[in-house]
Structure 1
C-alpha cells in the first residue's frame, strides 16, 4: 500500500510518502518539511514528497494523519486535506497519535528504557505519555493524559528521559524532538481500520466548556408621564 502521511501538529510540519513492503517497516520514499513559517505550504510539501518518491497523486492509496495532540490549527489543516483528498479520489484514511509517533522516532534514534513524551497543552499543563523502549519493542506503560508541570518534573527527577517538541524550554536537559510524518506512516503500516473523513478528529483531552450567556435584558418602554 502506498501511503501519504501528514504531520502538522507542531511548529515543524512534514509530509512523507511510504510504501508497505514485506520487511519490518514501510519504506520512506520521500519526505519534506518546514519549520517556523506562519503559513503552511501544505501542497508544496506534498508535491515535494511525491517528487522524491516518483509517485503521482493518483498512485496514493492511503492518507495517514497525525492527530496530535498539539497545534489545533495545524491538525485541522491536515484533516481537511485528507477529507478533501478522499472526496476527490478513492483513498483510505487513517489517524494516528502524534505522541506515539514521537515514541517511534525515539526508538529509531536508539533511545532505550523509560521515556516520557511531553507536549505543551497550555494553561500550565502538558500532555504526557510513558513508553518503555527496547531494540525490538515499544510498549506504552502510561497512557496519554493531561498533567501539571510538577508531575512532568517529577518524572525527569526520577530519571525518565523526557522528549517532545520544544520541551527543553520548560524542562532543561530534555530531548527536543518534533513529530515526523514518516513515523505516522510507519504507524499506519499494516493497519486496516480505515475511517471516513468526517470521523477524523484531533486528539484533545480537555472537556469542552461553554459558558451560557445570560438572556439580554429587554427594557419595558414607559408611558409618557409614568414614574
Structure 2
C-alpha cells in the first residue's frame, strides 16, 4: 500500500497555512500572514487546497500538524482543526514540531553545520532547539531568554547558524554576540510539514488523533487540549460544512469499497 494523501496544517506562528501532497510533492498550498486571523483563515484555506488539488476530504489519509512550540491561540486553531478532521475521516496523524520544521527548511541548503532554530515566543523569550550537522536534534525544545541563549551558544557552539523568526525579533542581541543569522526570515511551512509527514507515514510512524499533544513549553500556556479559548475554536458554517462533508464522503468511500 502506497503513502496516502496528506493534509498538512501550520498555525504555530503569526502565519497560518495548509498544504496537500504525497510522495510526488505538494499539489496545492495556501498561507496567510494576517495577524490574529488564524481561525478565520485556516478552514477556507483547506477548502481551497482541496479544490485546487482536485480531491475531496475522503481522499485524505493522513493529517499532519505543527504541534509547537508557538503562539497559544494559533496552536489551538491548528491542532483543534486537525484532530476534528482526523476523527471525522478516521485518518491517521503525524505531529511535527515548529523548531524541526524551521531547521529542515534551512537544511536543504546548509547540510554540514549545526543549526539552532529560534522562534519568537513573545514576552521577551524564545523557543529554541539545536540540530546537528546530520539533522538530528541535539537538544530538547526549550523556552529561553535571548541573552541566556547567546551566553550558552558562545560557550558551546559559536559557529552555529541561527534561523527562525526569533532571530529577527532579537536581532540586536544576536548581532552583539557575533552569531551567523542567515535564514532569519524562515518560518515553519505547511509544505515542509507534508514533506516530513510523507517520510513518517512511509516508515509507519503515524498515530491516532487522541495521541496528539500540543507542545506549549511555558507553564501558563499549558492548558489541556480540551479547554478551548472561544476566539481559537474554528467554528462557523465553513467548519461545520467540512465536517459534514468529511463524514459523508468517508462513509460513501467505505460503502463503495465494501461493494467492490
Q: TM-score when scaled to structure 1?
A: 0.79
The answer on whether the counterparts of 1:12 and 1:35 sit within 8 Å (CA) in structure 2 is yes
User: Partner residue of 1:34?
Assistant: 32
Instruction: Give the Cα–Cα distance (whole angstroms) in 2 for the partners of residues 77 and 170 of structure 1.
Output: 26
Two-structure CA RMSD over aligned residues (Å): 2.4
The answer on whether the counterparts of 1:116 and 1:130 sit within 8 Å (CA) in structure 2 is yes
Higher strand proportion (structure 1 or 2): 1
Matching of residue 20 in structure 1 with residue 18 in structure 2: no
Matching of residue 58 in structure 1 with residue 58 in structure 2: yes
Higher helix proportion (structure 1 or 2): 2
Q: Which of 133, 136, 141 in structure 2 is aligned with 1:139?
A: 136
Matching of residue 202 in structure 1 with residue 214 in structure 2: yes
Please report how far the alpha carbon of residue 109 of structure 1 lies from its aligned counterpart in structure 2 after TM superposition. 4.2
Please report how far the alpha carbon of residue 45 of structure 1 lies from its aligned counterpart in structure 2 after TM superposition. 1.1
Please say which structure displays the higher CA radius of gyration.
1
Superposed CA deviations along residues 98-153 of structure 1, whole A, max 9, x for unmatched, are: 110111111124464122101223443322111134xxx42222222222211332
Distance 1:158 1:110, change over 3 A: closer
The answer on whether the counterparts of 2:86 and 2:209 sit within 8 Å (CA) in structure 1 is yes
User: Partner residue of 1:130?
Assistant: 130
> Is there any run of 5+ residues in structure 2 with no aligned partner, and where?
176-180, 223-260
Please report how far the alpha carbon of residue 193 of structure 1 lies from its aligned counterpart in structure 2 after TM superposition. 3.3
Please report how far the alpha carbon of residue 44 of structure 1 lies from its aligned counterpart in structure 2 after TM superposition. 1.7
The answer on whether the counterparts of 1:165 and 1:179 sit within 8 Å (CA) in structure 2 is no
Please report how far the alpha carbon of residue 208 of structure 1 lies from its aligned counterpart in structure 2 after TM superposition. 5.5
Q: TM-score when scaled to structure 2?
A: 0.70
Matching of residue 184 in structure 1 with residue 193 in structure 2: yes
